[in-house]
Structure formats: C-alpha cells, structure tokens
Amino acid sequence: MKILVAVKRVIDYNVKVRVKADQSDVDLANVKMALNPFCEIAVEEAVRLKEKGIADEVVVVSIGPKAVQEQLRTALALGADRAIQVETDDMPDSLAVAKILKGVVEKEEPQLVILGKQAIDSDNNQTGQMLGALTGMPQGTFASKIDMADGSVNVTREVDGGLQTVKLQLPAIVTTDLRLNEPRYASLPNIMKAKRKPLDVTTADELGVNVARTVKLLKVEPPAERSAGVKVADVAELVDKLKNEAKVL
C-alpha cells in the first residue's frame, strides 16, 4: 500500500509572531521556519505503518517555493521514501492546495492520504476535508488512533464531547490530531541519507490548477493587548478583588 503525506512549511511554533508595521501581514523575514507540528505527526504515522509492514511506500508532498524542499528533506530523514515539490510562487490557499493534491493523488493513486488537522499559521483546518470532497474519498479528521483493516480503516476521532470511531472505505483521508503519536527525531545518518532520496519537482500549471485566491487579506493587526494585571498577596485578597473589583463572583 502506498501512503501520501502532505506537509507544510510554517513558522516554528515557538516563535512569537510580529505583525508588520504597515499591517499588510505578519513579518516572516529571518524567522525560523519548520515542519508544521501536525504534519510531523502525519509523517510519523505513515512511517510507523511502513515499519509494521502495512505500507510499502511513503511519498511526501509539499507545495510552495523552493524553500519547502527543506521540510521535504526533513520528512525524508524521518523515514519517507520519496518527495514531490509542487512549485508555486507563494503559499496558495486551502482550496488551491486541495486541488493540487487531487492532481497528485490521481497520479500516485495512494490508498491512504495523511495530512495534519491544521497548519499553525493560517489555523484554517480545511485542506484534508476539501481534498476529500474533490476526490470523493471519505475522511477521518482529528485522528487520535488509526487501525488498518482489509479494504478499510477505523479512525478514532477527537470530537468535542470525547472520542468517536468511524470506519472508512479505502482509499481514504486521515487528518492527524496531536495525540495520534509522538514524532521521532531525525538522526544524523538519516539526515545524510535523506539527501540522496529522490525529490521530484512539478508545478501547479503541470497539474492544471489555478492558484488564484478569492479571499483577499485586507489587513493584519496585533490582537488587543490586555492591560497589565496586579499580583495579590493571598487567597483572601484574591477573593476580595474578584468580588468587589472585578465583580465576577
């Protein structure tokens, strides 16, 4: 079985973002970039399925400028077999990404596509579901457990009230939640080996996808600052302040 994993290059999750002075966007110049944490979990799950002998090939794909090759190499170092970069001038929106991924799915014909549940930059939580709609595949979103069976997959999903399990016919799409697994670190020998693994470059044009956006970004602002609070000395003072000053008790 072949597994396709989509990965995204995003700002490192530990970096505190700054909004540009002209409010056009956040400032990404000279900021540390990394593999989106949910995508790391997706790669890890695919590699584990390969280690169990369930998958025989793990293909990773990323969409964007040449810089995304760095994240593809990271995924290769974690255990993916080969990589595909779909070159675009900048990062397209979720719908365009889903259309591009549909093109890749049609070419590669994977039995399972694994994506992260959301990217920590745009916080959209859309791409996996959109790919499901475009390909007609069923989806197991926010997965915390995956059990492969013959011709189907059982996915345990993190939902608002607890957990839900669904059975999906293959080929299917899974999006990862944080608790699906604990991703491994890439070892130095694996990082060296990853440099020799195949990485193909294609373009959105070759896949026949228009990446024009229909949602315009008008402005980006910092969130409202909270005014500085006070430290209280003990519980009695805390309860007094909550009752008489904040009036929330």
Partner 1 sequence: MSILVIAEHDNKELSPATLKTLAAAQAIGGDIDVLVAGEGCQAVAEEVAKAEGVSKVRLADNAVYGHFLAENLGTLVAELAKDYGHILAPATTTGKNFMPRVAALLDVAQVSDIIAVESADTFKRPIYAGNAIATVQSEDAIKVITVRATAFDAVAAEGGNAAIEAVDTVIDNDKSEFVGEELAESERPDLTAARVVISGGRGMQNGENFHLLEKVADKLGAAVGASRAAVDAGFVPNDMQVGQTGKIVAPELYIAVGISGAIQHLAGMKDSKVIVAINKDEEAPIFQVADYGLVADLFDVLPELEQAL
Q: Which of 165, 187, 193, 206 binds partner 1 (CB under 8 A)?
A: 165
Based on the number of CB atoms within 10 Å of its own CB, is 45 exposed (0-12), middle (13-18) or buried (19 or more)?
buried
Q: Which of 95, 105, 194, 211 binds partner 1 (CB under 8 A)?
A: 95
* Parallel, antiparallel or unpaired: strands 57-64 and 139-149: unpaired
User: Which residue number, 58 or 146, has a Cβ lying nearer to partner 1?
Assistant: 146
- Residue 161 touching partner 1 (CB under 8 A): yes
User: Which residue number, 201 or 238, has a Cβ lying nearer to partner 1?
Assistant: 238
- What is the CB-side half-sphere exposure of residue 243 using CA atoms within 13 A? 6
Q: Which of 22, 90, 150, 221 binds partner 1 (CB under 8 A)?
A: 221
CA distance 39 to 5: 8
- Residue 190 touching partner 1 (CB under 8 A): no
- Residue 31 touching partner 1 (CB under 8 A): no
- Residue 181 touching partner 1 (CB under 8 A): no
Give, as ranges, the residues between 32 and 71 that touch partner 1 (CB under 8 A). Answer: none
Q: Which of 48, 87, 126, 148 binds partner 1 (CB under 8 A)?
A: 126
Tell me how far, at minimum, the Cβ of 150 lies from partner 1, in Å: 16
CA distance 130 to 134: 6
Size of the site for partner 1 (CB under 8 A): 80
Give, as ranges, the residues between 105 and 124 that touch partner 1 (CB under 8 A). Answer: 117-118, 120-124
Candidates 45-53, 71-79, 189-197, 224-232; binding stretch for partner 1 (CB under 8 A)? 224-232
Based on the number of CB atoms within 10 Å of its own CB, is 56 exposed (0-12), middle (13-18) or buried (19 or more)?
exposed
- Residue 26 touching partner 1 (CB under 8 A): yes
- Residue 150 touching partner 1 (CB under 8 A): no
Alpha carbon separation from 97 to 46, 218, 221 (Å, rounded)? 20, 21, 26
Q: Which of 43, 130, 180, 211 binds partner 1 (CB under 8 A)?
A: 130
Q: Do residues 97 and 36 touch, judged by C-beta distance below 8 A? A: no
* Parallel, antiparallel or unpaired: strands 2-6 and 9-11: unpaired
Based on the number of CB atoms within 10 Å of its own CB, is 39 exposed (0-12), middle (13-18) or buried (19 or more)?
buried
Candidates 67-75, 78-86, 195-203, 236-244; binding stretch for partner 1 (CB under 8 A)? 236-244
Of how many residues is the chain composed?
249
Give, as ranges, the residues between 68 and 87 that touch partner 1 (CB under 8 A). Answer: none
CA distance 41 to 119: 12
